[in-house]
Amino acid sequence: MEQIIPSEPRAGRLALAAAGVTVLLWASAFVSIRSAGEHYSPGALALGRLLVGSLVLAAILVVRGEGWPKRAAWPGILGSGVLWFGLYMVALNWGEREVDAGTAAMIVNIGPILIALLGGLLLKEGFPARLMAGMAVSFAGAVVVGVSMSGGDSGSSVLGVLLCLAAAVLYAAGVVCQKPALRHGSALQVTTFGCVVGTVTCLPFAGQLATEVARAPLSATLNMVYLGVFPTALAFTTWAYALARTTAGKMGATTYIVPALVVLMSWMVLDEVPGWLTVAGGVLCLAGVAVSRGETGALLRRLRGRGAPAEAARRA
């Protein structure tokens, strides 16, 4: 007992550090996607990013000798691979061709509320009033963002908002799929094979990628490689590590600062700053998440509680 108790704060600090790495790298991804997207189409950029990420993760998996995850992990790996690693990245890449990086991050950060919504539908957790109120506030914020960008080429801006909303839905669905898989496989296993599944999902864009790699400037290709190594291989692994070791409510809370980091990074790197009405809409999106925070945290703590016996058996 004397050896176990001191390890708990240490595990919490490691999980917090892992979450911090994820937040910083995912924030940088919005900026890199915006930059690389000038030369790569959405599907080609997703496939290139996933190919790089899969190669890096597979090499680490071989070196560590972890092998294949248990059969029980595969439904979650397949679901998160197709929805989160594959379709989410295509939708986000496409959305960022139509809206700036900060706006995209604000809309996608509705995801934590949608995780709770999917949990209510799929896990019979119900729909508490606080959760529904938060959803209403966040979607009102998304509407404000769309209206604020309706000047000029309104079709493109509305399309961008819708694509980012679709990305938020895919992200939430992917997390709900991934959570049970982490009870039966390590963070590295679940991330590696999820990334491989996402790569296979994006293979229809292989022809586009081959054509665009030959024409794109080196800076754009390096951005794609960066996306594969850091926001994908590293950040998705640190996310899974933290999700398996902390309450998901705390994990969800860490993503609230992503839009602020993205706005700061996009201002410094891309000279992009959303208009005041867009920022107000983004604040509404985040306010809705904050309203729902208590219900989301309770749901995900219950999810973690359900996995505790399986985790204890796996460690035994």
**310-313-314-316 Cα dihedral, nearest 10 degrees:** 160
CB 242 within 8 A of CB 251: yes
Q: Where are the alpha helices (DSSP H) in 123-186?
A: 129-148, 154-181
**CA–CA–CA angle 237, 239, 240 (5° rounding):** 65
pTM as predicted? 0.77
Average pLDDT over residues 210-238: 96
Question: In whole numbers, what is the pLDDT of the chain averaged over residues?
Answer: 80
CB 263 within 8 A of CB 31: no
pLDDT at residue 155, rounded to an integer: 47
How far, rounded to the nearest angstrom, does the alpha carbon of residue 128 sit from its chain's CA centroid?
Answer: 25
Q: Where are the alpha helices (DSSP H) in the chain?
A: 7-36, 42-64, 74-80, 89-95, 101-108, 111-122, 129-148, 154-181, 187-201, 206-215, 218-227, 235-245, 248-254, 258-269, 276-315
Copy the structure tokens of residue 158: 């509305």
pLDDT at residue 123, rounded to an integer: 54
CB 99 within 8 A of CB 161: yes
Copy the structure tokens of residue 27: 């924030």
Rounded to a whole number, what is the distance in angstroms from the first to the last CA of the chain? 16
Average pLDDT over residues 219-227: 97
Amino acid at 155: G
Rounded to 10 deg, the angle between the 276-315 and 129-148 helix axes is 140
Percent of residues, the chain, with pLDDT higher than 70: 72
- For residue range 151-194, list pLDDT tens digits in order: 544 444 788 889 999 999 999 889 889 888 998 999 999 999 99
Domain ranges of the chain: 22-307
Tell me the HSE value of 16 on the side-chain side, using a 13 A CA sphere: 6
Say if residue 84's pLDDT is above 90: yes
pLDDT at residue 316, rounded to an integer: 42
pLDDT at residue 307, rounded to an integer: 47
